Chain A
Amino acid sequence: MTALNEEHVRLGARMVEFAGWEMPIQYSSIMKEHMAVRGSAGIFDVSHMGQLFLTGDGVETLVDRAFTNTFKRRKPGAMEYTHMLDEEGRIIDDMIGTWLDEETFFVVPNAATTETVKEWLGGLAAGAGSVTFQHDPSRFCIAVQGPSSEGILETALDIDLSGLKFFRLLTAEIGGGTCFVSRSGYTGENGFEVYGPAEQATTVWNRVLEKGSPEGMVPVGLGARDTLRLEKCFLLSGQDFHNDRTPLEADHEWVIEWDHDFVGKEALERQKEAGGYRRWSAVLMADRGVPRPGCEVVIPAHDRSPVGRPIGEVTSGTVSPVLNKGIAMAYLDEDRSAPGTTVEIEIRKKGYTSSVVEKPFVKQG
């Protein structure tokens, strides 16, 4: 369990097991928590995410080889979202990394894949030179997200965030411990993530919640974390890919820096050249409905082509609290993945009219 387990229980959270962690799925209601983040602010315990610190003279080479994106060692605190691929170009995990200073690289893999990522990087490090891994699972990460999050966090932690740009990280002394604060998150709203040692977890959590509550901030569980990221079309590791899809299929070519050599590059080049692969696309249902992972996407009834032919598969879906309609992310045949295409999602053997739309489902503001 995380350092904040007692706080969750005190707040009446419904707890679930997730990747070996006991995590809050919801405190009050997924809908209310979701709308609080879109309208004012929410606070999340995401301490289950891994926090790896890499040091040694081989780190720069390792990082360059392991990730699709590139990281500027001489620009500490600049964060990048990246994919980590196997030799076939399939995504092992997605994560955010940053050089904390010229010596230390900090990377945050997903909870269920942290050990895999550690092992994979360890394997690659063997050919890169000296690399030391530090991983303390007791460390906390608290996300503070939403339009009111900046003011709340500044007051609660007595910190100036006005100079902190998007996807930048700073180091701050909070409650007697060294913490990192970054402008980042998984909700698509202006927001922050605070990382630090377990001892500071409850101090940060309670200070922020105390300052935020009068402004409508609520604690938010994994349930709303999922609906929030889905409205913004963010990938979920283990669900939208599990070492079976490439960044090209996931429609994430923007995380690939083609002008460096990384594991999986040749496979991606071949795939890009050949084309004809399914693309991860946003599908909006005409009505309410809950598309679940595994639901088939098929050719709609009015189409001249063979009706009912499968053209894709849903990997994530929910009812969007903002749009009040069913939304799904699905890998669709290339020729059916363009926004504007009409498709049907099959739920319990019934076809529901839907259309491929531009990502994300919910735009800013």
Chain B
Amino acid sequence: MSDLLTDVLSGGVRGGTAIMLAALGETLAERAGVVNLGTEGCLLVGALTGYAVAAETGSPWAGLVAGALAGAALALVHAGLVIWRRADQFATGLTLMFFGLGITSLFGVAYVGKAAPGFAPVEIPLLSDVPVLGPVLFAHDPVTYLSYLVAPLMWWWLRRSRSGLLVRTAGERADVLHLHGYRAGLIRGGAVVAGGALAGLGGAQLSTAYAHAWFEGMTAGRGFIAVALVIFAAWRPLRVVAGAYLFGALLAVAPVLQARGHAVNQFAMDALPFVITLLILAVIGRRTLRAAPQELRRVFESSSSN
């Protein structure tokens, strides 16, 4: 039983890492007052670019950096349209998602089935021997270890640093920034682009450290899970981590049980993350909006019919 739990949780961390990175990126953007529904697109361009650069240069680390840059580039388009051109955030984000899907299908063809170097799991001595926690947390690829640092750093930075305060202010009271001579647009743009970089990193983790392959549409909705996750994690980085691993674990339940010969309805399991999201949204309802950054509430409320 504990063995089964270990496998589910371990799979949760493995499969949740890309979701977590994307969701942390989305958290950053939303804390600055911008929703990026194009996160799925950022994941995809990160996955393809990461894999392609790893294949061409022979270095998965170069792929990782390139994946982050690609995610940032796509997010920059979002920032440009939304902040400087005042385009609708939801329409722009969705369009970018389709753009990411289309452009990666187009340019990704050459890398389908192509071999590329990737990250292999590295067991951390001593730590990986700890029962349950060892295999769950310390028997993964280096990118997953790196990802452990992102949420605590983001939490600390948003809370304690001056630049973090500026980002939060951009999301809560942008007019205050103007009074003090800051340009809210620039701060938001920076947050959106940095968020895109995190999503791109997540995509590169998916292709170079997890699936070890590129295939069009391989993110399979994980970017949307990430966006939903940010809302019910109430825009808090540490809760985002918990939620991402929970979704990862839900995705891992079916293979864990099936590999032991148990009957599982994979189709129902596939729907589970989305059903749970809907349930949570239904339960928290309006309270969702109360936790939202003020500037974001304006975006949300402009789209609801009250």
The finding on whether chains A and B are genuine partners in a shared complex, rather than unrelated, reads no
